[in-house]
Structure formats: C-alpha cells, structure tokens
C-alpha cells in the first residue's frame, strides 16, 4: 500500500484547495511545499499587492479628501509599515491554511518535491531526503516571473514582482515598468498613488491588450491624468546603468527613445515552474514551457497530474483552485462541479476591472451573432458619491437565444459584481432572467441593471 | 457656430475633408456643442472597413453617448490617437482635431456644403 493516496506538490491556491478537497473525499493526502504555504498568490502575488493597493488608495483619497468635506494636512507614506502590514496579512492567511491542513489531516511535508517515478516523490527537507509513495501525484508548482533575454535585465535595480514585493525600506522616486499587463498596471497604480514617477513601456498597442479595447483606452486615460507616462507599441531594447539611474531604451515605430528611473520592474509575464521537478529519466510531454495535460489533467506520465500555472493557459489563482477541485473530483469518480470554461479575470486598479467570457469582437470573430448592452456610470449615484473615474459596464448576449456570453466591467466593486455574470454564463441565463430580481438602491451594481435593460431591448 | 466653407458635412453632424483618396473626418461645432464636455471616444482600429451611413465608433460626453456614423465608405488608415488622452479637444477646436482618416474611398453619404449644413443645423436647432 502506498504512503498516501495523493501527494500534491505545491501548496498554492491550486495545490492546497486540491489537497483539502481530496481529504474531504476520503483520500489520505500530503502536500509538499518548499516555501510558505499559500504559494505565489498569498505570498508574492494577489494578496500582498491588494494589501498594498488598499494603502495607496487610502493615501490618495486622503490627499483629495477636501472635496469630501475633510482635511488631513499631515498624511505621510510609511513604506516600511505598508510592507510590514502586507507581510502580516500574508502570514495570517498562510497559517490559516496550515491550520486547515491540520484539521483535515493533510500532512504538510516541508521541502522540495521531486518526482522519481510515477508513484514516488522524494522530498529534500532540512533534515535530509525522504521518499514517499503515492497512488497519484498532483503537480501544482505554479509559475515564476519571466525575465526575457534583453540586455541589462540582470542589472541591480531591475526587478520582477518577487523582488519588488520584498521591499527596500524606502519609497522609490521613480519606476519604469516594462509590460502594461495586469501586474504592470497594478504596480503602476500603487506607485502613482504614492507620488512616485511612473512610466509604463508596453510592446502591444494598448494597456491590458488581452482585454476589451475600451478598457485599455479608459485605463490609459485615467493613469495619464494621475501622471503616469505610457508608451505603447514600444519594444524594449536594453537597460543600462548610469550614475544614479537606470535607463530603458525602446523603439517606437522608427525612433528610439529612452527613459530613466531609480528602479525597473520587469512585468512581462510568468513562466511555469518545472525546474528540478522530474527525475531526468522521466521526461513528461511539454506544451512550450507548460506541462502538457489531457482533459482529466493527467500528464503524459500515468498517475501524474498537473493543475494551475504550471500547465494552464490561463494563469490565475481561482483557475488553479477550480482545476485542483475538478482534478480531484475526477480522480474520485465524480463529475467536476465547476464549469472550467467560465473564467472571470480581474485587475485591481482604480476603478477595478473585471471581465468574463467573450467581448463583442471575440464573439463576432467566432461567427456568433451578438448584441451589446452598455451603461456608462456618470449618473450612477454611488459612482458620483465616491468621485470615481469614468466607469462602465458592458454585457454581451447572443441574438438567437439571448444567452449571455460575456461582460466587461470597469467600475468600483466590479471584481465582486462580475460573479453574477459568470453565474449567468455558466447557467446559460439571459438578460431577461437576470432582470427578474430587483436591485438594491443605491448601488454601483444598479448600472448592471440599466445595462441589462438596454441589452434586452436591443435583442 | 462655425461652418468652414472648405469642408463637407453629413446629416449626422460629421465633417469631411477630401484630399485625393483620403477623407479626414471629425465632428462639427454643432455636434460638440450639443454633446457638451466630451470625455471619451471609442475609435475603430486602423485597417477597419467603414461603410457610409454606418456606425464606426462613439463619442461620449457627461450627458450622453452619440454614435459616430461614417460619412464615407473605405478603410481606416489613421486614428487621431492624441484625442484618446484629451477628448475634450473636440470641444475646444472641433475642426482642428480630426477623429479618423479613411482611404480607398468607395462611396459617400449625401454630403452638404457649409451653407446647406448651416441651414440644416438651424432647422435641427428649432426642432
């Protein structure tokens, strides 16, 4: 008999959710983790950045609080305290997961896991090597920040999100962010809020190029008003060190430009973390740098499964969790309880951005006849009360059966509001059905009602 | 209200300046005045096909959102990207700040000269 039914390698949002699910379904489970429990999400990603963004938002709001009838004349940024708070929150959440492991009788094996054979995991721990056997192995090792081979990206002061989140004890005067994706724009929001000079250099034609075009354009307009410099269609050529600054050179059309800053953040994406994971004689099939998996999340090696950033096209914490749950459910002979095709994605800039399903353009490109409802929120009372920047909600539905197929939101609380659209898509609901329940007043979400009414009238 | 004589005008309150095979298109003084403070413009993309009489984007003010109806058919060859950052330029100088340029023109809406458009606006203003 094996030591465990299931060994999960990696205790991030994919691995720990899968382990707890497996335990609740009656399996004997262990999780191998070589760093803090909670993975990138809890320790170097979602949670620390949102904690820091909460502080920066409050600071920015306090500076502008006269409009709200308040005065705060001595507001200072204590960057060390901001970092300490983020560390504290990460630690609390991390120990919460460790507690859940204990309650669920999931063994936490501290060390680096290596798959030696389809049923054998070796753990390099502080007290030496241990070998465990398992009926099945689930790889949930996540991803690490990517550093492309651009000259100068290895200079001191050029960081990825990992190093930036370690902190340095003082607030940077200026930062150049390479990459205008989710990570780039969230850090841009944070540093711009705190009064740091921010420049974003993006290779494609707009910020958040994977999202609806209006979102990127709206965000650029808002960030520029806050003083952020944005270069798009800009291909970075090199980073060089001068006396007291780093210079990033990039080409835009036929010209070469250069911007200088105290530090550089390289935020061009993340790559799957498979380093040292497999014994040399085990060579799983890869899909580029990702582990290749089938519809049941099995790799090319029998009894070895993979979920989350290490194998998924979409690198999001909640996708990893949902895949982990589905993988374990399938292993135990159940049908997956979550529809993995409906993926909300959120950006915690201001206003927040949240999208799910298809944009109008994507639907048209797929040959689906759709109509769009849109509400711009200038006259939404809560938006006005909170003094939010330009906000809008768009919902896309099929003209044939009226089913909702997507939504793009850029407004306060959109990261919460998006779930009801995701529900609608997963359950094949129409705008008419979403309009059945009255909406509370006054809310941001009232604008979704307005948008759905326009959409229903257009269909 | 300003109606430059060198331009042609559509009943959707867009102006067109034809130079060779390229049409430069913007919104008229009448349109910007009716809209109020312009806060956002939804542009088409370079390379998009536009059709005379059909929507190619919209202009949003704090009061309303108004569709941009294309006065010509052709392909979008340039977008005035600077307007994305300062859309209120349309209020300040609607004839200096064009929105798109279209080439490969294959047709146009029925367009008015400045005198006819001024009369058209006078009627629209009374309505």
Q: Cis (ω within 30 of 0) for the bond into A292? A: no
Farthest CA pair distance, chain B:
39
Helix (H) / strand (E) containing A190: helix A182-193
Spatial separation of the C-alpha atoms in residues B61 and B94, rounded to whole Å? 14
| B43, B65, B85: residue with CB nearest A376 | B65
Scanning every residue of chain A, which has its alpha carbon at the shortest distance from the alpha carbon of B82? A221
Residues of chain A whose beta carbon is less than 8 angstroms from a beta carbon of chain B are: 213-214, 217-218, 220-221, 224, 374, 376, 378, 390
| pLDDT tens-place values along chain A, 459 residues long | 899 999 999 999 999 999 999 999 999 999 999 999 999 999 999 999 999 999 999 999 999 999 999 998 889 999 999 999 999 999 999 999 999 999 999 999 999 999 999 899 999 999 999 999 999 999 999 999 999 999 999 999 999 999 999 987 799 999 999 999 999 999 999 999 999 999 999 999 999 999 999 999 999 999 999 999 999 999 999 999 988 899 999 999 899 999 999 999 999 999 999 999 999 999 999 999 999 999 999 999 999 999 999 999 999 999 999 999 999 999 999 999 999 999 999 999 999 999 999 999 999 999 999 999 999 999 999 999 999 999 999 999 999 999 999 999 999 999 999 999 999 999 999 999 999 999 999 999 999 999 999 999 999
Query: Per the CB < 8 Å rule, is A221 touching B85?
Result: yes
Using DSSP's 3-state secondary structure scheme, residue A89 falls into: helix
> Which of B38, B49, B63, B65 is the mutation pick for testing A, counting most A CBs within 10 A?
B65
The pLDDT of residue B62: 86
- Please give the Cα distance from A229 to B47 (Å, whole number): 27
Best of A202, A217, A458 to disrupt the B interface by mutation (most B CBs within 10 Å)?
Answer: A217
Contact A221 B60 (CB under 8 A): no
Q: How many Cβ pairs within 8 Å bridge chains A and B?
A: 22
H or E element that contains A238: strand A234-241
> Could A390 and B39 be called an inter-chain contact, meaning their C-beta atoms sit closer than 8 Å?
yes
Residues of chain B whose beta carbon is less than 8 angstroms from a beta carbon of chain A are 39-40, 42-43, 45, 60, 62, 65, 84-85, 87
State the pLDDT at residue B125: 76
Separation CA B107–CA B110 (nearest Å):
10
- With beta carbons less than 8 A apart as the criterion, state whether A361 and A211 touch: no
Q: Is the ipTM of this complex over 0.85?
A: yes
- Cβ of B40 within 8 Å of Cβ of A213? The answer is no
Question: What region, left, alpha or beta, does residue A24 occupy, with left being phi > 0 and alpha being psi -120 to 50 degrees?
Answer: alpha
The whole-number pLDDT of residue B127 equals 57
Q: How far apart are CA A374 and CA A386, in angstroms?
A: 21
B62 neighbourhood in chain A, CB within 8 Å: 378
| CA neighbor of A248 nearest in space, from A340, A257, B66 | A257
Show the low-confidence residues of chain B (pLDDT under 70).
127
Return the exposure string of B28-60: e unless at least 16 CB atoms fall within 10 Å of the residue's CB, then b: bbbbbebbeebbbbbbbeeeeebebbeebbbbb
* Active-site annotation of A, residues: 441
Write the burial class of residue A103 (CB in 10 Å: 0-12 exposed, 13-18 middle, 19+ buried): exposed
Residue A280: predicted pLDDT: 92
Q: CA-CA distance, A169 to A301, in Å (whole number)?
A: 46
- At residue A425, the 3 state secondary structure works out as helix
A220: nearest CA in chain B?
B85
Chain B residues inside the 8 Å CB shell of A388: none
Please, how many CA atoms are within 13 Å of residue A308, restricted to the half-sphere of its CB?
Answer: 31
């Amino acid at each position: 008999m094996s030591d465990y039914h299931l060994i999960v390698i990696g205790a991030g949002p994919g691995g720990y959710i899968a382990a707890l699910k497996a335990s609740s379904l009656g399996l004997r489970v262990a999780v191998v983790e070589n760093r803090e429990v909670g993975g990138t999400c809890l320790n170097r990603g979602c949670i620390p950045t949102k904690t820091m963004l909460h502080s920066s938002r409050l600071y920015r709001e306090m500076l502008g609080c006269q409009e709200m009838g308040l005065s705060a004349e001595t507001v200072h940024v204590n960057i060390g305290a901001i970092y300490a708070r983020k560390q504290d929150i990460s630690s609390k959440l991390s120990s919460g997961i460790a507690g859940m492991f204990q309650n669920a009788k999931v063994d936490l094996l501290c060390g680096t896991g290596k798959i030696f054979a389809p049923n054998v995991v070796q753990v390099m721990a502080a007290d030496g090597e241990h070998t465990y056997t398992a009926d099945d192995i689930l790889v949930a090792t996540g991803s690490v920040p990517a550093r492309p081979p651009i000259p100068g990206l290895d200079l001191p002061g050029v960081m990825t999100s990992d190093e930036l989140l370690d902190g340095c004890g003082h607030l940077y005067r200026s930062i150049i962010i390479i990459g205008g994706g989710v990570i780039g724009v969230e850090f841009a929001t944070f540093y711009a809020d705190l009064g740091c000079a921010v420049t974003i250099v993006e290779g494609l034609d707009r910020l958040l190029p994977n999202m609806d075009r209006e979102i990127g354009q709206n965000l650029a307009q808002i960030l520029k008003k806050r003083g952020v410099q944005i270069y798009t269609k800009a291909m970075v050529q090199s980073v060089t060190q001068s006396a007291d600054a780093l210079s990033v050179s990039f080409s835009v059309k036929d010209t070469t430009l250069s911007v200088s800053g105290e530090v550089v953040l390289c935020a061009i994406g993340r790559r799957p973390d498979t380093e040292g994971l497999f014994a040399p004689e085990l060579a799983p099939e890869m899909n580029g740098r990702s582990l290749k998996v089938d519809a049941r999340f099995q790799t090319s090696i029998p009894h070895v499964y993979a979920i989350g950033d290490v194998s998924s096209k979409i690198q999001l914490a909640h996708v990893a969790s949902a895949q982990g749950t589905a993988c374990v459910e399938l292993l135990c002979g159940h049908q997956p309880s979550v529809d993995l095709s409906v993926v909300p994605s959120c950006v915690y800039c201001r206003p927040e951005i949240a999208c799910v399903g298809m944009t109008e353009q994507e639907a048209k490109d797929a040959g689906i006849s759709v109509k769009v409802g849109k509400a711009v929120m200038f006259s939404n009372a809560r938006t006005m009360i909170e003094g939010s920047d330009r906000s809008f909600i768009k919902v896309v539905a099929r003209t044939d059966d009226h089913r909702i197929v997507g939504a793009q939101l850029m407004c306060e609380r959109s990261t919460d509001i998006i779930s009801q659209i995701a529900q609608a898509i997963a359950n094949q609901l129409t705008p008419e059905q979403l309009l059945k329940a009255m909406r509370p007043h006054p809310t941001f979400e009232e604008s979704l009602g307005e948008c759905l009414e326009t959409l229903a009238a257009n269909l | 209200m300003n109606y430059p004589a060198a331009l042609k005008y559509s009943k959707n309150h867009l102006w067109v300046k034809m130079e060779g095979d390229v049409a430069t298109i913007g919104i008229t003084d009448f349109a910007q005045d009716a809209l109020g403070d312009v806060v956002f413009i939804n542009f088409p993309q370079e390379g998009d096909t536009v059709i005379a009489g059909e929507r190619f984007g919209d202009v949003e003010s704090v009061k309303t959102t108004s569709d941009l109806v294309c006065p010509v058919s052709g392909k979008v060859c340039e977008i005035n990207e600077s307007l994305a950052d300062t859309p209120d330029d349309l209020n300040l100088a609607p004839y200096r700040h064009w929105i798109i340029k279209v080439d490969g023109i294959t047709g146009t809406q029925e367009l008015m000269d400045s005198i006819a458009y001024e009369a058209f606006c006078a009627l629209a203003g009374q309505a």
